[in-house]
């Protein structure tokens, strides 16, 4: 055994507690920096665990970004609306084929996800609208490897898209 280890085995090593770390930080500036970094990292970790926020949709055929959808939670229900289009020439387009209250509404600002309810680790029992076709599908949403999986389906037929967290 190496004398530098003072007779301790590796299995005896215990990582320092947060209090021990802070008491060794005698410099107030270093302590502020540590607290700030901890807060930022915690914020990112919490954000990564929720489906709310801005998500970039990806075109199934081209693999290019199409839009940014902002997903929010209100009264225990999840909703999502298009807040940005990557094809700038379509910014003023309206949804000519959309049903009901979304008919002829601008695509930017359009509610496409409605009334999703949390069931375990996923959201379901709501709907998603395809603004290109005007069709409304049952929907299921869940997080997988930091990405959002969005599945629209009718009976046993479904399509799942992967959305990436946006800014």
Strands (E), the chain: 53-58, 65-74, 77-85, 111-119, 122-130, 135-144, 147-154, 157-165
Domain ranges of the chain: 3-48, 53-165
Mark 42-78 as b/e (b = at least 16 C-beta within 10 Å). eeeeeeeeebeeebbbbeeeeeebbbbbbbeeeeebb
User: Burial of 138 by CB count in 10 Å (0-12 exposed, 13-18 middle, 19+ buried)?
Assistant: middle
Q: What is the pLDDT of residue 55?
A: 98
Whole-model pTM? 0.71
Q: What is the pLDDT of residue 29?
A: 72
Q: What is the pLDDT of residue 151?
A: 98
Question: Cβ distance 78 to 116 under 8 Å?
Answer: yes
Helix %, strand %, coil % for the chain, to 5?
25, 45, 35
Would you give per-residue pLDDT tens digits along the chain (167 residues)?
A: 444 445 555 455 565 666 655 555 566 676 566 555 554 544 444 444 799 999 999 998 899 999 999 999 999 999 999 999 999 999 999 999 999 999 999 999 999 999 999 999 999 999 999 999 999 999 999 999 999 999 999 999 999 999 999 86
CATH number for region 53-165: 2.40.128.520
């Amino acid at each position: 055994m190496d004398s530098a280890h003072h007779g301790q085995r590796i299995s005896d090593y215990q990582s320092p507690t947060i209090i021990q770390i802070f008491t060794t930080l005698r410099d107030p500036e270093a302590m502020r920096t540590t607290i700030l970094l901890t807060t930022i990292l915690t914020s990112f970790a919490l954000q990564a665990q929720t489906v709310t926020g801005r998500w970039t949709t990806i075109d199934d055929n081209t693999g290019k970004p199409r839009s940014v959808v902002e997903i929010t939670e209100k009264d225990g229900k999840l909703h999502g609306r298009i807040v940005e289009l990557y094809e700038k020439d379509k910014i003023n387009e309206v949804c000519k084929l959309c049903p009901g209250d979304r008919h002829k509404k601008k695509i930017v600002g359009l509610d496409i996800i409605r009334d999703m309810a949390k069931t375990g680790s996923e959201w379901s029992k709501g709907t998603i609208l395809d603004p290109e076709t005007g069709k409304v599908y049952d929907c299921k949403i869940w997080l997988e490897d930091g990405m959002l999986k969005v599945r629209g389906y009718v009976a046993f037929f479904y399509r799942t898209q992967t959305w990436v967290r946006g800014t």
